Protein backbone atom coordinates (compact mmCIF):
# COMPACT_ATOMS: atom_id res chain seq x y z
CA UNK A 1 0.00 0.00 0.00
CA UNK A 2 1.49 3.34 1.04
CA UNK A 3 4.63 4.07 3.07
CA UNK A 4 3.07 7.01 4.89
CA UNK A 5 0.20 9.52 4.75
CA UNK A 6 2.19 11.93 2.58
CA UNK A 7 2.59 9.31 -0.12
CA UNK A 8 -1.10 8.49 0.07
CA UNK A 9 -2.16 12.12 -0.34
CA UNK A 10 0.35 12.63 -3.18
CA UNK A 11 -1.04 9.63 -5.04
CA UNK A 12 -4.63 10.77 -4.57
CA UNK A 13 -3.71 14.27 -5.73
CA UNK A 14 -2.15 12.82 -8.88
CA UNK A 15 -5.21 10.72 -9.46
CA UNK A 16 -7.62 13.65 -9.22
CA UNK A 17 -5.49 15.59 -11.72
CA UNK A 18 -5.93 12.78 -14.23
CA UNK A 19 -2.35 11.52 -14.22
CA UNK A 20 -1.87 7.91 -15.30
CA UNK A 21 0.73 7.01 -12.68
CA UNK A 22 -1.76 6.68 -9.84
CA UNK A 23 -1.02 3.96 -7.32
CA UNK A 24 -2.81 0.68 -8.21
CA UNK A 25 -4.61 0.72 -4.85
CA UNK A 26 -6.63 3.72 -6.06
CA UNK A 27 -9.06 2.56 -8.73
CA UNK A 28 -11.64 5.32 -8.74
CA UNK A 29 -12.56 7.72 -5.97
CA UNK A 30 -15.99 9.33 -6.21
CA UNK A 31 -16.40 12.99 -5.36
CA UNK A 32 -18.13 13.95 -2.14
CA UNK A 33 -21.91 14.01 -2.69
CA UNK A 34 -21.50 12.31 -6.07
CA UNK A 35 -24.35 10.00 -6.95
CA UNK A 36 -23.53 6.50 -5.79
CA UNK A 37 -25.52 4.14 -7.95
CA UNK A 38 -25.80 0.39 -8.23
CA UNK A 39 -27.34 -1.07 -11.35
CA UNK A 40 -28.26 -4.72 -11.41
CA UNK A 41 -28.99 -5.85 -14.95
CA UNK A 42 -30.47 -9.31 -15.42
CA UNK A 43 -30.43 -10.89 -18.87
CA UNK A 44 -32.39 -13.99 -19.80
CA UNK A 45 -31.59 -16.45 -22.53
CA UNK A 46 -33.47 -15.51 -25.69
CA UNK A 47 -34.18 -16.97 -29.08
CA UNK A 48 -31.75 -17.20 -31.97
CA UNK A 49 -32.18 -13.49 -32.47
CA UNK A 50 -30.03 -12.84 -29.37
CA UNK A 51 -30.57 -11.84 -25.76
CA UNK A 52 -33.52 -9.96 -24.32
CA UNK A 53 -32.55 -7.59 -21.46
CA UNK A 54 -34.59 -7.56 -18.29
CA UNK A 55 -35.51 -4.32 -16.60
CA UNK A 56 -32.75 -2.76 -14.56
CA UNK A 57 -32.73 -2.62 -10.80
CA UNK A 58 -31.06 0.27 -9.02
CA UNK A 59 -30.12 1.32 -5.51
CA UNK A 60 -29.15 4.94 -4.93
CA UNK A 61 -28.02 6.73 -1.78
CA UNK A 62 -29.34 10.02 -3.06
CA UNK A 63 -28.42 12.18 -0.02
CA UNK A 64 -31.41 14.49 -0.20
CA UNK A 65 -34.48 14.89 -2.41
CA UNK A 66 -35.91 18.15 -1.12
CA UNK A 67 -34.70 20.32 -4.00
CA UNK A 68 -36.54 20.50 -7.32
CA UNK A 69 -33.32 20.27 -9.35
CA UNK A 70 -32.34 17.07 -7.50
CA UNK A 71 -35.79 15.62 -8.20
CA UNK A 72 -35.45 16.48 -11.89
CA UNK A 73 -32.00 14.86 -12.05
CA UNK A 74 -33.32 11.71 -10.39
CA UNK A 75 -36.37 11.56 -12.67
CA UNK A 76 -34.17 11.93 -15.76
CA UNK A 77 -31.79 9.20 -14.58
CA UNK A 78 -34.58 6.71 -13.84
CA UNK A 79 -36.12 7.32 -17.26
CA UNK A 80 -32.87 7.35 -19.25
CA UNK A 81 -31.54 4.16 -17.66
CA UNK A 82 -34.92 2.42 -17.94
CA UNK A 83 -35.01 1.54 -14.25
CA UNK A 84 -37.80 -0.88 -13.45
CA UNK A 85 -37.22 -1.01 -9.68
CA UNK A 86 -35.29 1.39 -7.46
CA UNK A 87 -34.28 1.80 -3.84
CA UNK A 88 -33.72 5.39 -2.71
CA UNK A 89 -31.74 5.91 0.49
CA UNK A 90 -31.30 8.96 2.69
CA UNK A 91 -33.88 11.12 0.90
CA UNK A 92 -34.00 13.52 3.89
CA UNK A 93 -37.65 14.21 3.03
CA UNK A 94 -39.96 14.88 5.97
CA UNK A 95 -42.86 12.48 6.34
CA UNK A 96 -45.36 15.28 5.77
CA UNK A 97 -43.78 15.95 2.35
CA UNK A 98 -43.44 12.35 1.17
CA UNK A 99 -46.54 12.26 -1.02
CA UNK A 100 -45.68 15.59 -2.66
CA UNK A 101 -42.13 14.52 -3.56
CA UNK A 102 -43.10 11.00 -4.59
CA UNK A 103 -45.91 12.22 -6.85
CA UNK A 104 -43.40 14.43 -8.66
CA UNK A 105 -40.51 11.98 -8.85
CA UNK A 106 -42.19 8.58 -9.10
CA UNK A 107 -44.95 9.24 -11.59
CA UNK A 108 -46.53 6.00 -12.77
CA UNK A 109 -44.75 3.98 -10.05
CA UNK A 110 -45.91 2.10 -7.00
CA UNK A 111 -43.82 2.82 -3.93
CA UNK A 112 -43.30 2.15 -0.22
CA UNK A 113 -41.11 3.56 2.54
CA UNK A 114 -40.08 2.67 6.09
CA UNK A 115 -41.31 5.75 7.98
CA UNK A 116 -43.35 3.49 10.26
CA UNK A 117 -40.09 1.93 11.46
CA UNK A 118 -37.69 4.87 11.18
CA UNK A 119 -38.57 8.50 11.92
CA UNK A 120 -36.40 9.63 9.00
CA UNK A 121 -37.85 7.18 6.45
CA UNK A 122 -34.34 6.28 5.33
CA UNK A 123 -35.43 3.71 2.70
CA UNK A 124 -37.87 4.17 -0.17
CA UNK A 125 -38.49 1.59 -2.87
CA UNK A 126 -40.44 2.09 -6.09
CA UNK A 127 -41.28 -0.05 -9.10
CA UNK A 128 -43.07 0.23 -12.41
CA UNK A 129 -46.27 -1.88 -12.25
CA UNK A 130 -45.94 -2.72 -15.95
CA UNK A 131 -42.49 -4.21 -15.30
CA UNK A 132 -42.63 -5.84 -11.87
CA UNK A 133 -45.10 -7.28 -9.42
CA UNK A 134 -43.73 -6.57 -5.94
CA UNK A 135 -44.98 -8.00 -2.66
CA UNK A 136 -43.58 -6.46 0.52
CA UNK A 137 -42.65 -9.18 2.99
CA UNK A 138 -40.88 -7.32 5.80
CA UNK A 139 -39.96 -3.74 6.66
CA UNK A 140 -37.58 -2.64 9.40
CA UNK A 141 -35.58 0.45 10.25
CA UNK A 142 -32.63 -0.90 8.20
CA UNK A 143 -34.13 -2.88 5.31
CA UNK A 144 -37.15 -3.58 3.11
CA UNK A 145 -37.51 -7.19 2.00
CA UNK A 146 -39.70 -8.06 -0.99
CA UNK A 147 -40.60 -10.73 -3.50
CA UNK A 148 -40.55 -9.46 -7.08
CA UNK A 149 -41.78 -10.97 -10.33
CA UNK A 150 -40.56 -9.66 -13.66
CA UNK A 151 -43.78 -9.52 -15.68
CA UNK A 152 -42.34 -10.16 -19.13
CA UNK A 153 -40.67 -13.41 -18.10
CA UNK A 154 -42.75 -14.22 -14.98
CA UNK A 155 -39.51 -15.09 -13.19
CA UNK A 156 -39.56 -14.37 -9.48
CA UNK A 157 -36.84 -13.54 -6.98
CA UNK A 158 -36.50 -12.07 -3.51
CA UNK A 159 -34.81 -8.71 -3.11
CA UNK A 160 -33.70 -6.92 0.06
CA UNK A 161 -32.84 -3.21 0.02
CA UNK A 162 -30.51 -2.34 2.90
CA UNK A 163 -29.43 0.89 4.57
CA UNK A 164 -27.32 -0.02 7.57
CA UNK A 165 -27.28 2.09 10.71
CA UNK A 166 -24.33 4.37 11.34
CA UNK A 167 -23.19 2.62 14.52
CA UNK A 168 -21.81 -0.90 14.76
CA UNK A 169 -23.97 -1.85 17.76
CA UNK A 170 -27.13 -0.84 15.89
CA UNK A 171 -26.11 -2.91 12.86
CA UNK A 172 -26.05 -6.10 14.93
CA UNK A 173 -29.85 -6.27 14.65
CA UNK A 174 -29.48 -5.98 10.87
CA UNK A 175 -27.01 -8.87 10.62
CA UNK A 176 -29.26 -11.11 12.73
CA UNK A 177 -32.32 -10.22 10.67
CA UNK A 178 -30.53 -10.94 7.39
CA UNK A 179 -29.32 -14.30 8.68
CA UNK A 180 -32.90 -15.12 9.67
CA UNK A 181 -34.12 -14.29 6.16
CA UNK A 182 -31.36 -16.44 4.68
CA UNK A 183 -32.25 -19.42 6.86
CA UNK A 184 -35.60 -19.79 5.11
CA UNK A 185 -34.51 -18.79 1.61
CA UNK A 186 -34.97 -21.44 -1.06
CA UNK A 187 -35.43 -19.22 -4.13
CA UNK A 188 -33.36 -16.64 -5.99
CA UNK A 189 -32.31 -13.79 -3.69
CA UNK A 190 -30.55 -10.47 -4.21
CA UNK A 191 -29.46 -8.17 -1.37
CA UNK A 192 -28.14 -4.71 -2.15
CA UNK A 193 -27.66 -1.30 -0.61
CA UNK A 194 -25.53 0.88 1.63
CA UNK A 195 -24.42 -1.35 4.50
CA UNK A 196 -22.48 1.41 6.28
CA UNK A 197 -19.85 -1.23 6.99
CA UNK A 198 -16.74 -2.43 5.23
CA UNK A 199 -16.26 -6.12 4.48
CA UNK A 200 -12.49 -6.33 3.91
CA UNK A 201 -9.48 -4.44 5.23
CA UNK A 202 -8.84 -3.05 1.75
CA UNK A 203 -12.26 -1.39 1.67
CA UNK A 204 -11.02 1.70 3.48
CA UNK A 205 -8.28 4.13 2.54
CA UNK A 206 -7.13 6.76 5.01
CA UNK A 207 -8.07 7.19 8.65
CA UNK A 208 -7.45 4.56 11.31
CA UNK A 209 -6.22 1.09 10.42
CA UNK A 210 -9.07 -1.38 9.93
CA UNK A 211 -9.65 -3.54 13.01
CA UNK A 212 -10.92 -7.13 12.96
CA UNK A 213 -14.15 -6.26 14.78
CA UNK A 214 -15.09 -3.82 12.00
CA UNK A 215 -15.38 -6.57 9.39
CA UNK A 216 -16.17 -9.63 11.52
CA UNK A 217 -19.95 -9.31 11.99
CA UNK A 218 -20.64 -8.34 8.37
CA UNK A 219 -18.41 -11.13 7.09
CA UNK A 220 -20.07 -13.72 9.30
CA UNK A 221 -23.49 -12.58 8.09
CA UNK A 222 -22.54 -13.01 4.42
CA UNK A 223 -20.86 -16.37 5.03
CA UNK A 224 -23.78 -17.74 7.07
CA UNK A 225 -26.24 -16.50 4.45
CA UNK A 226 -24.21 -18.24 1.70
CA UNK A 227 -24.17 -15.13 -0.46
CA UNK A 228 -21.56 -14.05 -2.95
CA UNK A 229 -20.78 -10.54 -4.10
CA UNK A 230 -21.93 -9.67 -7.59
CA UNK A 231 -19.28 -8.92 -10.18
CA UNK A 232 -19.09 -5.17 -10.69
CA UNK A 233 -17.61 -2.35 -12.73
CA UNK A 234 -16.93 1.27 -11.87
CA UNK A 235 -15.71 2.76 -8.59
CA UNK A 236 -14.16 0.63 -5.90
CA UNK A 237 -14.72 3.19 -3.17
CA UNK A 238 -18.33 4.38 -2.92
CA UNK A 239 -18.12 6.98 -0.12
CA UNK A 240 -15.65 9.69 0.86
CA UNK A 241 -15.34 12.75 3.04
CA UNK A 242 -12.12 13.69 1.16
CA UNK A 243 -10.05 12.30 4.04
CA UNK A 244 -11.31 8.73 4.16
CA UNK A 245 -12.41 6.62 1.21
CA UNK A 246 -14.43 3.46 1.78
CA UNK A 247 -16.52 0.82 0.03
CA UNK A 248 -19.81 0.46 1.88
CA UNK A 249 -22.22 -0.14 -1.03
CA UNK A 250 -22.51 -3.72 -2.29
CA UNK A 251 -24.68 -6.20 -4.19
CA UNK A 252 -24.94 -9.84 -3.12
CA UNK A 253 -26.73 -12.82 -4.64
CA UNK A 254 -27.20 -16.39 -3.51
CA UNK A 255 -24.83 -19.01 -4.90
CA UNK A 256 -27.36 -21.29 -6.58
CA UNK A 257 -30.88 -20.18 -7.42
CA UNK A 258 -30.05 -16.66 -8.58
CA UNK A 259 -27.19 -17.79 -10.80
CA UNK A 260 -29.29 -20.58 -12.31
CA UNK A 261 -32.23 -18.29 -13.10
CA UNK A 262 -30.34 -15.16 -14.13
CA UNK A 263 -27.19 -16.37 -15.79
CA UNK A 264 -25.81 -13.02 -16.97
CA UNK A 265 -25.78 -10.04 -14.64
CA UNK A 266 -23.55 -7.26 -13.35
CA UNK A 267 -23.44 -4.34 -10.98
CA UNK A 268 -22.16 -0.86 -11.83
CA UNK A 269 -21.05 1.62 -9.19
Residue 94 lies in a domain: yes
Residue 9 lies in a domain: no
Region 63-67: mean pLDDT is 94
Range of weakest confidence among 47-51, 79-83, 243-247, 249-253: 47-51
Residue 2 lies in a domain: no
Backbone region of residue 18 per phi and psi (left: phi > 0; alpha: psi in -120 to 50; beta: other values): left
Residues paired with 264 in a beta bridge:
43
Q: What is the reported pTM? A: 0.82
CATH code for the domain in which residue 61 is found: 3.60.10.10
Residue 18 lies in a domain: no
Which of 110, 47, 58 is closest to 89 using CA atoms? 58
CB atoms within 10 A of CB 144: 24
Residue 22 lies in a domain: no
pLDDT tens, position by position, 142-178: 999 999 999 988 989 999 999 999 999 999 999 999 9
The total of structural domains in the chain comes to: 1
Residue 57 lies in a domain: yes
- CA-CA distances (angstroms) from residue 257 to 85, 155, 185, 254? 20, 12, 10, 7
Distance of alpha carbon 83 from alpha carbon 127, whole angstroms = 8
> Residue 39 — pLDDT band, cuts 50, 70, 90?
very low
pLDDT tens, position by position, 116-148: 999 999 999 999 999 999 999 999 999 999 999
Enclosing H/E stretch for 254: strand 249-254
Residue 3 lies in a domain: no
Region 251-260: mean pLDDT is 77
Residue-number span of the structural domain to which 164 is assigned: 30-263
Residue 24 lies in a domain: no
Q: Is the pLDDT of residue 112 over 90?
A: yes
Q: Tell me how long the chain is.
A: 269
Amino acid sequence: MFRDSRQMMRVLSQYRKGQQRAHPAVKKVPRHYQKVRIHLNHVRKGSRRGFAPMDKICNWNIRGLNWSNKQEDAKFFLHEKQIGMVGLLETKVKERNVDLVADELLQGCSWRHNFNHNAKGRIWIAWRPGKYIVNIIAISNQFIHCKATQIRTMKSFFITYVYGANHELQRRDLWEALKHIASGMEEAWCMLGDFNSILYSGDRLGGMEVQDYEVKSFGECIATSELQELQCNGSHFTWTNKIIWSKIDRVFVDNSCFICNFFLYFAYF
